[in-house]
Amino acid sequence: MAPSFSSLGTCSEPHAAADGGDCQALGGELRRPEWACYSEMRAALPCFLELYDKRPIQNNLGGMQVDHSFAMFFTLRKLRPKVVIESGAFRGHGTWIIKQALPDARIISLDPEVEPYRRLDGVEYKLKGSFRDVAKIDWKSEGVDPAETIMFIDDHQSGYRRILELMSQGFTRFIFDDNYPYNKGDNYSLKKVCEIERQSLWRGTVVDNFSKAKYSVTWEYHLKHANFLPKLFRTYYEFPPLASRELSGATWDPDHTTAPIVSDPALFKSLGLAATRAKDRTQMHTYTHWLYVEINSDLGGEVPPPLYPQQAPAPEPSEACSGVVASGQTCSQPHSAPDGGDCQALRGELRRPEWACYSEMRAALPCFLELYDKRPIQNNLGGMQVDHSFAMFFTLRKLRPKVVIESGAFRGHGTWIIKQALPDARIISLDPEVEPYRRLDGVEYKLKGSFRDVAKIDWKSEGVDPAETIMFIDDHQSGYRRILELMSQGFTRFIFDDNYPYNKGDNYSLKKVCEIERQSLWRGTVVDNFSKAKYSVTWEYHLKHANFLPKLFRTYYEFPPLASRELSGATWDPDHTTAPIVSDPALFKSLGLAATRAKDRTQMHTYTHWLYVEINSDLGGEVPPSLA
């Protein structure tokens, strides 16, 4: 049964003290709602968590997790609007939370790309073909009364711009899910607009719309926005995170975040938060300053400064194949059947990402191969060839990290692929010996004299947020060791180019660590670092590594080779390899693979089980066994 707390209960612990969640631009004035009450929040948590445990979408990776779900539920229960308009439905988890909070409300859900996990009875959907942007709909003609409505903005658009667009129709109450802090995230959030102190960090540009749009905005013009907020805001409330960083494992900045609801370990356990986190250690890692705002409907004739100075948008970097490799696409042939690319140590459990989709891979190939044909390094012998290049491009375009750190640059082909996939990302490239074919604009190089090993750099001091980063390991070091070295800094997403199969290659790869069946082939030694290092490791000690992997891995995906051995001429072992993307000769030709191979017969001979891994950031106090 859902919590049934009253809209205005008695509060024994109101949220009264100033903290880092307050809008700086309000000059210390607290414009919080009367229902901002820590004691009521704690009282509501046990029942809510019981409800949350029954959610239909258990893994909402990339969407709302438990902190924002509770914020949404609690706030809507308190305010009880008659209408909620949701801009950005994603898989539908947010819609489900709204429905649980307000079963009798009118709910209107909009999304341009994604079909939800399942449509809920009574919800009005405007998706895909019927979609129109929330700011371009005449809501009066839809029978919506703004005074009875809350706008839930979860579409990665600027919160300031959304208010300017929608206040003209009379809307005054807003919820913002993507309220990113200063210099993070993919839109000009209201929390960023509130910033008036840290001018030294101002980058001079504003991103919007999933970072697809960029505008030049000076600090002085930014302050025009900030200085207007005291006139605009009637209420500004960043709902608190559920638990302290020590309890949740989150990495938000305590100096710029609302004080958490729970800081006491005993209370964390008794309220049910410890049990919720035990089921998914990353559940509380995605708090982004969830925000409730009420604006003044009458500004006394004053006109808010426009979002950007009168200028044309800065040109977007060219993004190859943007229409065919995108997040949120419908998959007609998911990679669902077990095959030889699965980690044996997971004992039949498939921990693949949701974007593992053969139909999307095939759809992306023609455009990618046209791009690949224009690569500056035509002969990358000893480095990435077409199979791994496509795996890198497709995966990065799906995940769109803000930062990619490349350990092992070689001639620079991999760096070029990353740049084509993510023209706006921060790319940091490391190599101890090799100067690339040519240096790419915007890439940060740490080569030769300036080189330091990827595991010996304090990445926080370099301004790198692990939550926004993928580590690309192409340095012929043990994948298992690299994870042990880098997880201590908070990195959880890795790509491994040198993921050699059992008894091949020059390092103790994760594919080798996964092996639990072929003891008769075990050599009793582990090689590492281009085979320069050797360690004696018994089969029994090796199994300690393998048996730890189910605790370590959240996702394990060996990206498939482009084509079958018969078509590619490759020699990988089909019994221990992911099923290929293409096996039909006609499709091999029509997609452009035959033409690619005709130019270089060895292009598809270097597949070494290219791997994408996500690890659990908190292992519950367990210590992974050392490498040797």
* CATH, residue 467: 3.40.50.150
Neighbours of 524 (CB within 10 A): 10
Residue 23: strand, helix, or coil = coil
208-227 per-position pLDDT tens digit: 877 677 778 899 999 999 99
- Among 506, 501, 502, smallest CA distance to 528 is for 506
Q: Is the pLDDT of residue 430 over 70?
A: yes
Q: Is the pLDDT of residue 316 over 60?
A: no
Q: What is the pLDDT of residue 586?
A: 96
**Do 262 and 374 share a domain, yes or no?**
no
> Is the residue at 1 inside a domain?
no
> Is the residue at 203 inside a domain?
yes
> Is the residue at 424 inside a domain?
yes
Pairing of strands 213-216, 205-208: antiparallel
User: For residues 114 and 285, which has the higher predicted lDDT (pLDDT)?
Assistant: 285
Helices (H), 233-321: 245-248, 265-270, 273-279
**Do 562 and 425 share a domain, yes or no?**
yes
- Among 153, 215, 161, smallest CA distance to 179 is for 153
Give CA separation, 279 vs 53, 242, 490, 615, in Å.
Answer: 10, 16, 19, 14
**Do 269 and 395 share a domain, yes or no?**
no
| Close Cβ partners of 86 (under 8 Å, ≥ 6 residues apart) | 94, 95, 98, 107, 108, 109, 110, 152, 154
How far is Cα 536 from Cα 529, in angstroms, rounded to an integer?
15
Residue 229: strand, helix, or coil = helix
- Exposure of 152 in the CB half-sphere (CA atoms within 13 A): 27
**Do 60 and 131 share a domain, yes or no?**
yes
> Is the residue at 320 inside a domain?
no
What whole-number percentage of the chain has pLDDT above 90? 72
- Exposure of 566 in the CB half-sphere (CA atoms within 13 A): 6
**Do 101 and 232 share a domain, yes or no?**
yes
**Do 281 and 194 share a domain, yes or no?**
yes
Q: What is the pLDDT of residue 312?
A: 39
Query: Domain boundary residue among 295, 320, 355?
Result: 295
Q: Is the pLDDT of residue 324 over 80?
A: no
Write the DSSP string, 340-372.
TTS-GGGTT-----TT-BHHHHHHHHHHHHHHH
Q: Is the pLDDT of residue 527 over 90?
A: no
What are the beta bridge partners of residue 179? none
Query: Domain boundary residue among 295, 315, 331?
Result: 295
- Among 77, 86, 69, 96, smallest CA distance to 37 is for 77
CB 392 within 8 A of CB 384: yes
How far is Cα 592 from Cα 571, in angstroms, rounded to an integer?
21
Give CA separation, 82 vs 76, 79, 104, 139, 221, in Å.
Answer: 10, 9, 8, 14, 38
The tokens of 467 are what?
Answer: 């939550």
Q: What is the pLDDT of residue 340?
A: 92
**Do 180 and 275 share a domain, yes or no?**
yes
Q: What is the pLDDT of residue 529?
A: 82
Q: What is the pLDDT of residue 311?
A: 44
> Is the residue at 377 inside a domain?
yes
The tokens of 263 are what?
Answer: 């800081």
- Among 528, 526, 483, 522, smallest CA distance to 507 is for 528
How far is Cα 73 from Cα 49, in angstroms, rounded to an integer?
11
Q: What is the pLDDT of residue 323?
A: 63
Q: Is the pLDDT of residue 233 over 90?
A: yes
Q: What is the pLDDT of residue 526?
A: 82
Neighbours of 98 (CB within 10 A): 24
Q: What share of the chain is helix, strand, coil (3-state, %, to 5)?
A: 30, 15, 50
Q: Which amino acid is at 27?
A: G
Band (pLDDT 50/70/90 cuts) for residue 315 is very low
Query: For the chain, what is the mean pLDDT?
Result: 90
How far is Cα 180 from Cα 123, in angstroms, rounded to an integer?
28
Question: Residue holding tokens 């029994």?
Answer: 540
**Do 32 and 167 share a domain, yes or no?**
yes
Q: What is the pLDDT of residue 322?
A: 66
Q: How far is CA 331 from the centre of its chain?
A: 19
**Do 491 and 382 share a domain, yes or no?**
yes
> Is the residue at 30 inside a domain?
yes
| Close Cβ partners of 528 (under 8 Å, ≥ 6 residues apart) | 477, 478, 481, 506, 507, 508, 534, 535, 627
* CATH code of the domain containing 211: 3.40.50
User: For residues 622 and 124, which has the higher predicted lDDT (pLDDT)?
Assistant: 124
Residue 318: strand, helix, or coil = coil
Q: What is the pLDDT of residue 63?
A: 86
**Do 403 and 274 share a domain, yes or no?**
no
> Is the residue at 319 inside a domain?
no
Query: Domain boundary residue among 255, 275, 295?
Result: 295
532-582 per-position pLDDT tens digit: 888 888 999 999 999 999 999 999 999 999 999 999 999 999 999 999 999
Q: What is the pLDDT of residue 6?
A: 53
Mean pLDDT (whole number) for 349-365:
94
Mean pLDDT (whole number) for 308-326:
56
**Do 397 and 269 share a domain, yes or no?**
no
Band (pLDDT 50/70/90 cuts) for residue 314 is very low
Pairing of strands 291-295, 403-407: unpaired
Say how many domains are in the chain. Answer: 2
> Is the residue at 373 inside a domain?
yes
**Do 69 and 203 share a domain, yes or no?**
yes
What whole-number percentage of the chain has pLDDT above 70? 95
Mean pLDDT (whole number) for 331-355:
93
> Please, what is the end-to-end C-alpha distance for the chain in angstroms?
51
- Among 232, 322, 289, smallest CA distance to 19 is for 289
Domain assignment of residue 592, given as a range: 347-505+555-615
Q: What is the pLDDT of residue 329?
A: 66
82-138 per-position pLDDT tens digit: 999 999 998 899 999 999 999 999 999 999 877 777 899 999 999 878 889 999 999
User: For residues 439 and 77, which has the higher predicted lDDT (pLDDT)?
Assistant: 77
489-513 per-position pLDDT tens digit: 999 999 999 999 987 888 899 999 9
